[in-house]
Amino acid sequence: MKAIQIVSLVIVAAALMIGSAMAAIPVPATVGTATISSSTAVQATGNVAQSDSLTWIQDSEPSHAPPLHSALMQWAQWNPVAFAFTYPFPFFWIPTDASVGANLMDHNNEVGEVRGTAGYTATNTMVQGTTVLTKSVAVNSNNVIGDKNNIQSQQLITFAAQNEAGQATGSEDILMDVAGAAQDSNAKSYNPFGPTPNYFPPFADTVQSGSGYNILLGTIDTAAGERFVAATGDQTIAQSYSVLGRGITSSTGTAPMVGSMNAYMNAHVQEGIIRQALSPGGFALYWPTGPAFFGLGVTPFPIFESGLGSDVTYAQSVSAAGSITSFSQSYSFTGNK
């Protein structure tokens, strides 16, 4: 084997969990759905190569350029300039841009758009050694419930180099990037006791986790899961990842892993808030800047606006090299309503 400096290490990291208590809404499935699965089992002496690659974009509306469509009535949908007040005072200005002024007196027909991007990649390369590899990958574009996943992967690799040139290298990554404009909770939830004023705030959650290894001897055990497609906002979006590295046990005893391992998680979680900007019963006066109307009207419903309420960035990594007795790391993210 290659000559290396032996350093005994025991790495055990507890599960790291990130949870948001705002409004991470899944993307609903399309009418046509699909399932993809693969199962791999290899026992070989020599060279082995295995890889996976998945890219997935899911949208609640026909895909289009930003911004996402919001369920909130947008001031930009009103007439170019509006001067409004609530009875009897105070006066205030509502800045807007040119659009359809008549929409002020109508409810917004949007239920709120959600768009998700997911990805999974893995590569495993074993050179001049004895390899035992088992792996399964399942992709389901249907709506899921409970603790079921849209993407699920499990792999177990045992490798022992046969000479000084033998080594096993690999990496695995899972990504979830889900963003949503303000959501109409009446259209996105079966819960009759949903939030008041019947809107889920906007959000943007990006989470990526994974691991890598370069070993002469050892066992690698990983599991990855992700869900972001569901029929309603009653379900949560979630990602989980775990990796376990250890030695090899035989009739003569247990030899520690020899080589290096690493694992990481990066998360950026942005959650919005909604506030009432105009109360029902307010009066609005409009001035046209083109072929539009002007006049005085009473606002028959409250007008809300949204903004950023919480911005969380998290990063974690761990690595070990040398003679590794145990390497264990797990990650978990759940975006709650």
pLDDT tens sequence across 228-263: 999 988 888 999 999 999 999 988 889 999 999 999
* Residue 106 clears pLDDT 60, i.e. is over it: no
Predicted confidence band at 314 (pLDDT cuts at 50, 70, 90)? Answer: very high
Q: How far apart are CA 225 and CA 154, in angstroms?
A: 9
Q: How far apart are CA 91 and CA 162, in angstroms?
A: 82
More confident residue, 220 or 98: 220
Q: How far apart are CA 116 and CA 180, in angstroms?
A: 9
User: In b/e form, how buried is each residue of 53-76, taking b as 16+ CB within 10 angstroms?
Assistant: ebebebbbeeeeeeebbbbbbbbe
More confident residue, 189 or 227: 227
Q: Which of 172, 158, 154, 176 is nearest to 218 (CA)?
A: 158
**Upstream peptide bond of 67 is cis (omega within 30 degrees of 0):** yes
- Please tell me whether residue 181 adopts helix, strand or coil conformation: coil
Q: How far apart are CA 23 and CA 236, in angstroms?
A: 9
**How far is the CA of 142 from the CAs of 38, 39, 151, in angstroms?**
17, 20, 11
Would you state the pLDDT for residue 147? 87
Q: Which helix (H) or strand (E) holds 312?
A: strand 303-335
The pTM for the full model equals 0.80
Backbone angles phi, psi at 105, to 5 degrees: -90, 5
Strand bridging mode 303-335 / 237-246? antiparallel
Q: What residues pair up with 92 in beta bridges, in sequence order?
A: 84
Q: How far apart are CA 272 and CA 279, in angstroms?
A: 21
Would you state the pLDDT for residue 15? 44
Q: What percent of the chain clears pLDDT 70, i.e. is strictly above it?
A: 71
Q: How far apart are CA 146 and CA 300, in angstroms?
A: 39
Q: What residues pair up with 209 in beta bridges, in sequence order?
A: 174, 265
Q: Which residues, including other chains, have CB under 8 Å from residue 270's CB and lie 6 or more apart? A: 203, 204, 205, 308, 310, 311, 312
Q: How far apart are CA 186 and CA 65, in angstroms?
A: 26
Residue with tokens 């768009």: 115
CA-atom Rg of the chain in angstroms: 27
